[in-house]
């Protein structure tokens, strides 16, 4: 029988100290402690809908009112939530001076599937230090951002960051209405978000099923050079992100999984730290005292 992955923090810290190119691949579990529901398992339902069935271009085509209500709910939720200790640990780790203490002369990039913006907020709240010698991106939001809005008109495609709450008046209070047992409002396209440039219907700036994730070229390079991959709070069921850990291992790198539960392929990891990542990750990165 194959060896089970190790859960030994001391051996992990030795591997960490010898790693030169580190990546983290994160998923919804990273934000769970902040109060953002995950997609699969408990919490994967919004109203009576499977969250995943709403995250498609077809769902938006068929019922833009419902899909916008779903993203309005997620935007409002994310605005109320705060980054947790796992976001903060990853943000701290992306600072070269801090990282040098545990993984000297290494690079680090967080590749996140999350669209909630919490990792960016954790990075923004880090004290700024001259980190110019770090040529790599600190973070890549490969599935887009909840607060981006994109024009649906092929000739325009204008994209902008929009933190307005609610994003349009027609979406205000839709969640409370439903909780009070009302019939789902059918909001006309004209009252849903519009492009600020051309006035065409706008859509949430997230990557839906069947669409191409962002930064695949840069991510491909990072994965090919990585000698350590931290897999944080993801079910590892959605590609291409789900394939990165195996790719790192294939060329001799190590993999450490941080998940509340067992996840796809974790038996092949070198390290498996089961438990809430907001506890295990700061401990593993020796950053608990920074929280
Ligand atoms: N700490 C660590 N892991 C956790 C925690 C926690 N506190 N809470 C939950 N988890 C784990 C769950 O055990 C699960 O394995 O987080 C994982 C969440 O999995 P998913 O809900 O499938 O989320 P994710 O892997 O990010 O999904 C990938 O699918 O729907 C799409 O585009 C969406 O980016 C998303 C992608
Ligand atoms: Zn437009």
Mean pLDDT of 275-279: 98
Q: Residue 141: nearest ligand to its CA?
A: 1
* 31 assigned to a ligand binding site: yes
User: Among the atoms of ligand 1, which is closest to the Cα of residue 234?
Assistant: 25
Q: What is the pLDDT of residue 225?
A: 97
* Residue 85 Cα to ligand 1 middle (Å): 17
Mean pLDDT of the chain: 94
Decide whether any atom of ligand 1 lies within 6 Å of the 36 Cβ.
Answer: no
Q: What is the pLDDT of residue 290?
A: 43
Pairwise CA distance, residues 279 & 211, whole Å: 33
Query: Regarding the domain with residue range 37-80+146-206, which homologous superfamily does it belong to in the CATH classification?
Result: SIR2/SIRT2 'Small Domain' (3.30.1600.10)
**Sign of the four-CA dihedral 66, 69, 75, 78:** negative
Domain ranges of the chain: 1-36+83-143+212-290, 37-80+146-206
Q: 145, 119 in Cβ contact below 8 A? A: no
* 36 assigned to a ligand binding site: yes
Pairwise CA distance, residues 200 & 154, whole Å: 10
Q: How confident is the model at residue 46 (pLDDT cuts 50, 70, 90)?
A: confident
Of the candidates 21, 87, 143, 251, the residue annotated as catalytic is 143
Tell me, yes or no, if the two domains 1-36+83-143+212-290 and 37-80+146-206 fold the same way.
Answer: no
Q: What is the pLDDT of residue 291?
A: 39
Pairwise CA distance, residues 2 & 63, whole Å: 48
Residue 34: name the closest of 110, 93, 118, 92 by CA.
Answer: 118
Q: How confident is the model at residue 77 (pLDDT cuts 50, 70, 90)?
A: very high
**pLDDT tens profile 202-212:** 999 999 999 99
Decide whether any atom of ligand 1 lies within 6 Å of the 143 Cβ.
Answer: yes
Decide whether any atom of ligand 1 lies within 6 Å of the 52 Cβ.
Answer: yes
Q: What is the pLDDT of residue 131?
A: 58
Please name every residue paired with 161 in a beta bridge, in sequence order, or none if there are none.
148
143 classed as catalytic: yes
Mean pLDDT of 2-13: 91
Query: Regarding the domain with residue range 1-36+83-143+212-290, which homologous superfamily does it belong to in the CATH classification?
Result: TPP-binding domain (3.40.50.1220)
Whether the model pTM is above 0.85: yes
**pLDDT tens profile 121-147:** 999 999 876 655 667 899 999 999 999
Q: What is the pLDDT of residue 45?
A: 85
Q: What is the pLDDT of residue 130?
A: 60
């Amino acid at each position: 029988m194959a060896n089970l992955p190790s859960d030994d923090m001391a051996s992990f810290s030795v591997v960490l100290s010898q790693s030169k190119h580190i990546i983290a691949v994160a998923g919804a579990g990273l934000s769970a402690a902040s109060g953002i529901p995950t997609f699969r398992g408990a919490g994967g339902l919004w109203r009576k809908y499977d969250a995943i069935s709403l995250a498609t271009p077809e769902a938006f085509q068929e019922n833009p009112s419902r899909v916008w209500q779903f993203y309005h709910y997620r935007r409002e939720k994310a605005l109320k939530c705060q980054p947790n200790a796992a976001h903060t640990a990853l943000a701290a780790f992306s600072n070269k001076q801090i990282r040098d203490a545990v993984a000297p002369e290494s690079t680090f990039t967080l590749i996140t599937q999350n669209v909630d913006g919490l990792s960016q907020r954790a990075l923004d709240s880090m004290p700024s230090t001259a980190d110019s010698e770090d040529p790599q991106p600190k973070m890549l939001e490969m599935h887009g951002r909840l607060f981006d809005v994109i024009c649906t008109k092929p000739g325009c495609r204008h994209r902008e960051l929009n933190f307005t709450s609610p994003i349009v008046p027609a979406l205000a209070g839709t969640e409370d209405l439903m909780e009070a047992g009302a019939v789902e409002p059918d909001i006309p396209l004209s009252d849903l978000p519009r492009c600020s440039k051309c006035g065409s219907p706008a859509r949430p700036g997230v990557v839906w099923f069947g669409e191409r994730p962002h930064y695949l070229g840069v991510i491909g390079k990072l994965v090919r050079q990585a000698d350590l991959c931290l897999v944080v709070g993801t079910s590892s069921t959605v590609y291409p992100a789900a394939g990165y850990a195996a790719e790192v291992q294939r060329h001799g790198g190590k993999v450490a999984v941080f998940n509340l539960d067992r996840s796809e392929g974790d038996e092949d990891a070198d390290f498996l730290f089961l438990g809430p990542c907001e506890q295990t990750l700061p401990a593993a990165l020796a950053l608990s005292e920074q929280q």
